Amino acid sequence: MTLSHVRIVGSGLIGTSIGLALALKGVGVSMQDLDPRAQGLAEDLIKSSSSAEIELVIFATPIGALASVIDGEYLANPKAAFIDISSVKSKVKVEVSTSSLPTYRFLPTHPMAGREVGGAESARADLFQGRPWIIDSQGVDGDVVEKTTALIELLGGHAIDLDSAEHDKAVALVSHLPQLVASLLAKQLHGGEERWLGLAGAGLRDTTRIAGSDSKLWREIITANSQAIRPLLLSLQNDLSELIASLDSEDSVARLISDGQSGRARIPGKHGGKAREYTYLPIVIEDKPGQLAALFEECATASVNVEDLTIEHSPGQFTGLITLALSESDAETLSAHLKAHGWSVHSPKK
Q: In angstroms, what is the minimal distance from the CB of 30 to a copy of itself? A: 24
Q: Measured from the CB atom, is 114 or 143 closer to a copy of itself? A: 114
Residues 195-224 that bind a copy of itself (CB under 8 A): 195-216, 218-220, 222-223
Q: Cα(302)–Cα(326) distance, rounded to whole angstroms?
A: 12
What track of x and - describes contact with a copy of itself for positions 113 through 152 (by CB under 8 A)? --xxxx--xx-x-x--xxxx-x------------------
Phi and psi angles of residue 93, each rounded to the nearest 5 degrees, phi first: -60, -40
- 244 sits near a copy of itself (criterion: CB under 8 A): yes
Q: Measured from the CB atom, is 103 or 323 closer to a copy of itself? A: 323
**Any bridge partners for residue 56, and if so which?**
6, 81
Q: Is 57 exposed, middle or buried (0-12, 13-18, 19+ CB in 10 A)?
A: buried
Q: How many CB atoms lie within 10 A of CB 94?
A: 11
Residues 260-279 that bind a copy of itself (CB under 8 A): 260-268, 270-272
Q: In angstroms, what is the minimal distance from the CB of 228 to a copy of itself? A: 11
Q: Which of 36, 142, 317, 342 binds a copy of itself (CB under 8 A)?
A: 317
Q: Which of 295, 331, 335, 338 binds a copy of itself (CB under 8 A)?
A: 295
Q: Which of 50, 103, 175, 333 binds a copy of itself (CB under 8 A)?
A: 175
Q: Measured from the CB atom, is 24 or 236 closer to a copy of itself? A: 236
Q: Cα(179)–Cα(23) distance, rounded to whole angstroms?
A: 34
- 230 sits near a copy of itself (criterion: CB under 8 A): yes
Q: Cα(276)–Cα(312) distance, rounded to whole angstroms?
A: 23
- 342 sits near a copy of itself (criterion: CB under 8 A): no
Alpha carbons within 13 angstroms on the beta-carbon side of residue 97 total: 9
- E strand residue ranges, the chain: 5-9, 28-32, 56-59, 81-84, 106-111, 132-135, 158-161, 279-286, 308-313, 319-326, 344-345
Q: Measured from the CB atom, is 3 or 222 closer to a copy of itself? A: 222
3-class DSSP state of 243: helix
- 100 sits near a copy of itself (criterion: CB under 8 A): no
